Structure 1
Amino acid sequence: MAIDNASLLIAIASSSAALMAALLIGWQNSRDEKYLGLGAAGIGLIVISITIMSLRSGAYDFTIQFVPFFLLISGISLIYAGSRQFRIPDGSYRVPAFTWAAAVVMLAIPFVAGYSGIGTIVLNCIGAIYMMLCAWENWRGRQEAPIALVANAVLYTAVASSFVAAAAVLVIDGRAVLDAPPDNWAEHFNLIMSLVGLTGIGAITLTLHHARAAGRHRHEANTDSLTGVLNRRALFAQFPEDSIVPDLVVAMFDLDHFKQINDRRGHAAGDIVLQSFARVLRAETRGADFAARLGGEEFCVVFPGLDREAAYAISERIRAAFAAKAIPTGHENGVATVSVGVASGGDGETFTSLLSRADAALYKAKRDGRNQVQLAALRLVA
């Protein structure tokens, strides 16, 4: 039995309404994920558009033609804006706003002039362009989740091809004015692909949202909330206390006279000093290094794959860069500085032992006048 357009429209509206509800729930639980709100709003407009088209009961005047098409294009433009926001969370809305305004003008001109056939062709062309723009956004962001985002790009491209087919059949038909909605194989193909595409894209988008949320929670659990470097828990998860680390090099950092900074300038000023030092750590260490805040004003950096001389050089660079910031402390020394101890692992040495030796070198730097880097002696093997 053949499926008519009305049945397909009802199926699309029902599927879209369920997807809109799922996106709204996701957005309510995570308001920072603007792409979910944009997607839900876009699908809401599409549901209204499809509902109007499914209830037109044979009427096909200007209002019945243009209003649902306007809502449809507006909804698709919001989905495009959501695709951009997914890839660039802080991105501007100027491009989506400009494309929407251009699309509405291009759609309105033929309908206002009375050429509903040409207007419907333009609608399908605009739909195809928007779908390809969404596909491009997903393709460009594929590094985050290659399989899921490439799958989304393929689905958007497939829906775009169905819009192209619908436009092509109307062009071949050659009628500038339509007195009834188009009813041909290309329209059916477009509706079916829209149903499949919306369902698939929505499911993938929700999966990506949950993956992002899980990743964000992992990051928050492993990150010091004040400074943005790893916390103590994350460091010891990466390097268990009893793990053997014969080739590892670590540096322990302790901000000089930090208690006086808090006492004389206040804890808010102390927090700013900690954040400033963390920025220096991130700027001066390598991507392979592990920088962590162990607590208070004490930090640690693990240097995989470096010898102690190279680690000493980086630590000295960090010390000098922090001192060069010339952050006032209220202490007689004037500016915030840091003392550092560097130690390299010996045969059979545990991570805890290595940290203890680096800590001993750090306190030697404190005793010898602060604002300096001290190397721990090599561990003697019994």
Structure 2
Amino acid sequence: MGFDYNSLLMASGAAGAALCFTLMSSWLRQRTSPFLLTWALCIAVIVAAVIAFAALHVTSASVYAMIAGVLLVSAFSISYGGFTQFSTGRFAFRTVALLVIGTAAPIIVTNALGYDGLSYLLTNLMSGLVLFFCGYHYWTVRYESPGPITAIAVLHWMLVVTFLLCVIVLAIEAPLYFEERVLDTWAEGLNLMVAVIALSGIGGLFVTVHQERISRRHRDASLSDPLTGLNNRRALFERFPSGQVPQGCGLIVLDLDNFKSLNDEHGHAFGDAVLRSFATMIEENCREEDIAVRLGGEEFVLLLPESSLTEAIALAERIRGTMGRMTHSAEGQLVSCTVSAGVALAEKGQTSLDSLIRKADNALYLSKRSGRNRVSQTTSSAA
């Protein structure tokens, strides 16, 4: 054949070992991502399979073909477990176990019966099927990182094609028995070449996808309030990078009444619980397109796209009334907390977000001066 089988086998083993080291190192730096460890385990098993294939090539002993086959399909099955950890956070033990048993059993049984050629053929067939299964599932989640994950799926399918070519060649040349000879076909050489490319490519892409996920998490964390989970001030202003909001955008500023006194009297844990309950209640009363923000302390903002002043006031009143009826437990004592609100509306074609917040703040101060636990609006039309 036109390929040096041993060199390609060594290259695939070296690529696998390097990838295993890279994934393990990434996991040690980011232990909250267990799928990296699972992928490292998968590659380690592939390297073990490569060693078994090398032993087969040297000794022609069919037992090594069986061991290599079982290791290979087990590795690809573990890879699916890594995928489920990556996409859902859980290792699909049952599915992985079924994949390992379902793919390894035919290889073991046919080899034990003496049909080593058929066993080797099944190794390639089962490997191709599991890889196709994995590639399909990566394809279904490519929206997270379209470029890298699409490439990962394609590399899986490239390997599938070469495994199927091996099946075809083996079916022609040695359908049942090896007859104590090492099969060194052009299809196997091609399979090893693609394996080297796929292992190197998938390894780099895995790391890329992982780093992109970390970057997104850091960005999401920088745009959300850690206590309530709502958007923070930065997220609000990044939503409108020009600093302008469109006409018909309503804004409500909400501030919990006498919150500092309640916090001092019942403790910060109680205050945090009140803030979380209030944030949850706000979200439950908002439309999907509304933006709920914790500006800081006990002050919150609701931005209402395509709203009217009447609708904004009605929402603020609903939140005020609901908060007034809520009770919070503090050392066995039921405590209530009220909220004051100020409402403003962007009445011009383009209105500054800062000016709209100031207008709503002025209305909030009016609510505070008028006795708290009420909703106010300013009469100015500056915004």
TM-score computed with the length of structure 1 as normaliser: 0.89
Between the aligned partners of 1:328 and 1:202, the Cα distance in structure 2 is 52
Residue 127 (structure 1) aligned with residue 146 (structure 2): no
Alignment gaps of 5+ in structure 1:
none
Deviation at 1:190, TM superposition (A): 1.5
Whichever residue aligns with residue 235 of structure 1, its letter is L
Q: What's 1:276 paired with? A: 277
- Residues 1:333 and 1:203: Cα distance change in structure 2 (over 3 Å): closer
Q: What's 1:70 paired with? A: 70
Q: Which moved more, 1:71-80 or 1:341-350?
A: 341-350
Residue 345 (structure 1) aligned with residue 346 (structure 2): yes
- Residues 1:286 and 1:106: Cα distance change in structure 2 (over 3 Å): farther
Deviation at 1:65, TM superposition (A): 2.2
Q: Which moved more, 1:55-64 or 1:267-276?
A: 55-64
Q: What's 1:207 paired with? A: 208
Q: What's 2:94 paired with? A: 94
Asked if structure 1 preserves the Cα contact closer than 8 Å seen for 2:252 and 2:303, the reply is yes
Q: What's 1:14 paired with? A: 14
Q: Which moved more, 1:90-99 or 1:42-51?
A: 90-99
- Residues 1:26 and 1:317: Cα distance change in structure 2 (over 3 Å): farther
- Residues 1:330 and 1:32: Cα distance change in structure 2 (over 3 Å): closer
- Residues 1:349 and 1:189: Cα distance change in structure 2 (over 3 Å): closer
Between the aligned partners of 1:33 and 1:343, the Cα distance in structure 2 is 45
Q: What aligned pairs does 1:97-116 form with structure 2 within 5 A after superposition?
A: 97-116=97-116
Asked if structure 2 preserves the Cα contact closer than 8 Å seen for 1:58 and 1:180, the reply is no
Q: What's 1:173 paired with? A: 173
Deviation at 1:138, TM superposition (A): 1.0
- Residues 1:190 and 1:57: Cα distance change in structure 2 (over 3 Å): closer
- Residues 1:82 and 1:318: Cα distance change in structure 2 (over 3 Å): farther
Q: What's 1:38 paired with? A: 38
- Residues 1:263 and 1:138: Cα distance change in structure 2 (over 3 Å): same
Between the aligned partners of 1:105 and 1:323, the Cα distance in structure 2 is 66
Between the aligned partners of 2:225 and 2:144, the Cα distance in structure 1 is 24
- Residues 1:165 and 1:264: Cα distance change in structure 2 (over 3 Å): same
Asked if structure 2 preserves the Cα contact closer than 8 Å seen for 1:264 and 1:330, the reply is no
Deviation at 1:83, TM superposition (A): 1.9
Deviation at 1:50, TM superposition (A): 0.7
Whichever residue aligns with residue 110 of structure 1, its letter is T
Q: What secondary structure is seen at the aligned counterpart in 1 of 2:328?
A: coil
Q: What's 1:311 paired with? A: 312
Q: What's 1:357 paired with? A: 359
Deviation at 1:279, TM superposition (A): 2.2
Whichever residue aligns with residue 44 of structure 1, its letter is A
Between the aligned partners of 1:125 and 1:373, the Cα distance in structure 2 is 70
In the alignment of these two chains, the number of paired residues is: 380
Deviation at 1:203, TM superposition (A): 1.9
Q: What secondary structure is seen at the aligned counterpart in 1 of 2:365?
A: helix
Q: What RMSD in Å do the two structures reach over aligned CA positions?
A: 2.7
Between the aligned partners of 2:92 and 2:271, the Cα distance in structure 1 is 35
Residue 251 (structure 1) aligned with residue 252 (structure 2): yes
Between the aligned partners of 1:309 and 1:332, the Cα distance in structure 2 is 37
Asked if structure 2 preserves the Cα contact closer than 8 Å seen for 1:50 and 1:68, the reply is yes
Q: What secondary structure is seen at the aligned counterpart in 2 of 1:250?
A: strand
Asked if structure 2 preserves the Cα contact closer than 8 Å seen for 1:261 and 1:331, the reply is no
Q: What secondary structure is seen at the aligned counterpart in 2 of 1:291?
A: strand
Between the aligned partners of 1:302 and 1:372, the Cα distance in structure 2 is 19
Between the aligned partners of 2:324 and 2:156, the Cα distance in structure 1 is 53
TM-score computed with the length of structure 2 as normaliser: 0.89
Deviation at 1:160, TM superposition (A): 0.9
Between the aligned partners of 1:272 and 1:143, the Cα distance in structure 2 is 36
- Residues 1:183 and 1:331: Cα distance change in structure 2 (over 3 Å): closer
Q: Which moved more, 1:38-47 or 1:345-354?
A: 345-354
Asked if structure 1 preserves the Cα contact closer than 8 Å seen for 2:55 and 2:64, the reply is no
- Residues 1:237 and 1:69: Cα distance change in structure 2 (over 3 Å): same
Deviation at 1:249, TM superposition (A): 2.1
Q: What secondary structure is seen at the aligned counterpart in 2 of 1:58?
A: helix
Q: What secondary structure is seen at the aligned counterpart in 2 of 1:343?
A: strand
Deviation at 1:252, TM superposition (A): 0.8
Q: Which moved more, 1:25-34 or 1:348-357?
A: 348-357
- Residues 1:266 and 1:5: Cα distance change in structure 2 (over 3 Å): same
Percent of aligned pairs with the same residue? 33
Alignment gaps of 5+ in structure 2:
none
Between the aligned partners of 1:330 and 1:294, the Cα distance in structure 2 is 29
